[in-house]
């Protein structure tokens, strides 16, 4: 009999603008990442080619079994400060959901974790205050599962890509010995999200009112374009140098994030050291740099290969060349290292 650790593993970060996939020599570390690939989200033909690349021996019509991460529009990732004396009350979590989270808990699949280490919440532990809520609407879960099966993917597990990525960032911060927390930004269209991550876990998570869409009117006005559609297309293209316009475009977002960081620094006495932008397409790399300058923070440049090696992950030469420095793969690494990160924390 073969153990699950010996079987090849396939990991798919499925969501956002890009689908990224990897095949490993075993399902659990130590293993070698043998093959990687990616395609644009929504590119059905490209996904078929990616799955064939990751699982070349599968027969026609047979689904690819994979550990999958998704990023649904309605996902919930928040850190809330709870009242320890009320944690044992039957209706307390429902009150948190309807009050602070403003959701109907009956319509969501939710997990409540301890923010400092990601363990499932245990009401018997007294004194816990910071709780990590993550989940998604049941309707979006059903739609995601149906879409994956329709694409010949059988999810052995289904996780939120943001949570997997934040776990990877926290473990890298811990491995690198960074003393200061890292500000992690997930920029969206209508809104964005901000997370503060230390070696101890996710210490803060909240939505931001500013997003990429708020920059479109500024582009339209400054360049004298006739309509917002043309401005949005130009903003997301790589055909114009926005570097000089960067401070103005990111001003509203930088102010909101700076207020958040300042509040946290006053409350905790710890200054944020770096900023990391997730899910930012390469064509918008200039935006990440402009935002970092506006916040007065250095972009985080993780040394990913030494960190992965410490977790028992070896990159094949071709893989090292393709993705070793690409931050977009943090979600895949977090997905495949979930158990190894937990073991590393237990050993520490």
Cβ pair 108, 137 in contact under 8 A: yes
Which residues in the chain land under pLDDT 70?
Answer: 1-7, 60, 117, 124-128, 339-348
Q: Are 264 and 204 in contact (CB under 8 A)?
A: yes
Query: CA of 185: how far to CAs of 16, 56, 201, 208, 248, in Å?
Result: 14, 36, 15, 10, 18
pLDDT at position 338 is 75
Distance CA 128, CA 7 (A): 39
Residue 321's Cβ-count burial label (10 Å; 0-12, 13-18, 19+) is exposed
Using DSSP bridges, classify how beta strands 9-15 and 18-24 pair: parallel, antiparallel or unpaired. Answer: antiparallel
Report which DSSP code applies to 244: G
pLDDT in tens, 117-172: 677 887 766 566 788 999 999 999 999 999 999 999 999 999 999 999 999 999 99
Tokens of 70: 């998704």
Q: Give the H or E element holding residue 49.
A: helix 44-54
DSSP letter, residue 213: G
In this prediction the pTM is 0.89
Q: What is the DSSP letter of 283?
A: G
């Amino acid at each position: 009999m073969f153990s699950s650790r010996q079987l090849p593993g396939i990991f798919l970060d499925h969501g956002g603008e890009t689908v990224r996939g990897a095949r490993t020599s075993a399902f659990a570390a130590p293993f070698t990442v043998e093959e990687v690939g990616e395609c644009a989200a929504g590119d059905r033909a490209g996904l078929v080619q990616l799955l064939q690349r990751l699982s070349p021996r599968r027969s026609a019509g047979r689904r690819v079994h994979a550990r999958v991460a998704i990023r649904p529009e309605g996902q919930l990732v928040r850190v809330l400060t709870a009242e320890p004396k009320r944690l044992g009350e039957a209706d307390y979590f429902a009150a948190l959901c309807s009050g602070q989270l403003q959701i109907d808990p009956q319509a969501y699949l939710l997990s409540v974790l301890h923010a400092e280490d990601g363990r499932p919440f245990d009401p018997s532990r007294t004194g816990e205050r910071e709780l990590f809520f993550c989940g998604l609407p049941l309707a979006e879960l059903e739609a995601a599962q149906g879409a994956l099966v329709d694409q010949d993917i059988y999810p052995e597990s289904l996780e939120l890509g943001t949570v997997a990525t934040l776990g990877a960032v926290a473990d890298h911060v811990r491995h690198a010995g960074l003393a200061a927390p890292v500000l992690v930004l997930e920029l969206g269209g209508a809104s964005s999200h901000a997370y503060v991550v230390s070696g101890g876990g996710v210490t803060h998570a909240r939505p931001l009112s500013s997003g990429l869409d708020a920059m479109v009117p500024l582009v339209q006005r400054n360049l004298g374009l006739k309509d917002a559609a043309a401005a949005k297309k130009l903003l997301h293209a790589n055909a114009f140098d926005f570097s000089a316009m960067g401070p103005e475009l990111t001003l509203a977002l930088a102010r909101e994030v700076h207020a958040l960081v300042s509040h946290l620094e006053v409350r905790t006495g710890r200054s944020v050291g770096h900023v990391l932008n997730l899910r930012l397409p390469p064509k918008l790399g200039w935006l990440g740099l402009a935002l970092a300058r506006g916040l007065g923070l250095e972009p985080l440049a993780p040394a990913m290969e030494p960190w992965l090696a410490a977790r028992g992950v070896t990159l094949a030469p071709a893989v090292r060349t393709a993705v070793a420095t690409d931050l977009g793969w943090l979600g895949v690494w977090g997905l495949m290292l979930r158990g190894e990160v937990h073991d590393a924390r237990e050993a520490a």
